[in-house]
A and B are shown apart, each in its own frame.
Chain A
């Protein structure tokens, strides 16, 4: 049936529609490059969305928890094998995506008779300075975009995603501490999950931490740390 070109195109289009429909209620995840390091945020009610992959690599993902888990394991295995056989410095986001994660995603997407990965991800790599930080936005079909700016968002709707990135780029000025950055990410999270527009009053005078906090997950790839593993989970109450 799918050996006819038209049928195959139709099958792939159906597949995209199916995946988008499955992901439509997923909540967004964020990764921003800051002077302190790369901050990652997700709000998972009973589900983790932010993970450590390697010394300087972290993953934030939305979608089906089993699919996230499979990709996370794939990434961790590939990173540790590479770091062990060569050197931790050879484990980079670009190589991990090109040789491991993206082919896996694309293969699974094109096997039209098997279940696809229901995921959207951001892979972050901490550099020595902000210019060398890498933020990669990866889609369920294995396509990857390396972001040129310091803000990455993954959200099922690409239009809202772009609007959120644009708003955050304007909001996240150099002088903000991590607490203020998190406050703005939470505002963006709320706007995206309630379908509000990003035009209008930008910053609320007092930040209400209460809404997403039960599942609020924060992690920092710490630029200032001297240890090999730079990933650490942050408690929102401890932020200065």
Chain B
């Protein structure tokens, strides 16, 4: 009766996500390049659509930015099977807590819940093929302030002051964001059209240097997965909306 959904699962013989230790080689299926940064309207979380297995493109329509509840979302990088299951577990846990306890779970508790799942995935992490390094964005209910957090695969959590990135293509993204943070224009001051443009340009940059990152092509109406988080909740942007912003933004 304490609102903990995870403790409910073993009582009903339901296995929790995570990979058991076993021998033998396995294909490494990976999702790549997600990032988040503060803009004038809140936190913008972006990702590409590609999942790869070795040098094979496994899927080019993967959703990596997942809404956990009305005020938190996760961006996944790493093994999609484990990451998607983690996201589903968290979704149910947060909703279960909110409904059974008649109050939303605090941001700190949500962060701990993700830490716990990452730690429980230790065998998969050690074997290398079940590694997940997610980003988390959430709104503090008392202040209404959105924040970005990033995790190492063992579950340590860090708050990002301005931006965070994860996945194989994130090095280029982080380099550019670091440059902008230091010498401007500051991403945190960008209005929505410019922020959407920046997110798509960052993804194009990442795709330029990382074969596993699926690029975007604004000319072909192909854009990133984008979600904006602020005190009002989560807003997703369709391709057409992004095309509109792309046109509106300063060149």
Contact = CB atoms under 8 A, between A and B. Distances in A.
Interface string B5-43: 100110010100000000000000000000000000000
Contact count band on A = 10 to 19
Contacts of A85: 14
Contacts, number: 36
A81 interface: yes
A76 B99 contact: yes
Interface string A56-87: 00000000000000001100110011011100
Given A73-B100, A227-B70, A80 B95 contact: yes
Interface of B is mostly: helix
A81 B12 contact: yes
A52 interface: yes
B176 to A, nearest CB: 34
B184 to A, nearest CB: 37
Interface of A: 48, 51-54, 72-73, 76-77, 80-81, 83-85, 227, 229
Interface in B79-112: 88-89, 92, 95-96, 99-100, 102
Contact of A52 (B5, B88, B89, B99): B99
Given A52-B99, A227-B70, A73 B1 contact: yes
B1 A80 contact: no
Task: State which size class the interface on B falls in.
Answer: 10 to 19
A226 B9 CA distance: 29
Interface of B: 1, 5, 8-9, 12, 14, 70, 88-89, 92, 95-96, 99-100, 102
Q: Is the interface of A mostly helix, strand, loop or mixed?
A: helix
B70 A80 contact: no
Nearest to B5: A80
Given A73-B1, A227-B70, A80 B14 contact: no
B99 A53 contact: yes
User: Which of B14, B89, B100: most chain A Cβ within 10 A?
Assistant: B100
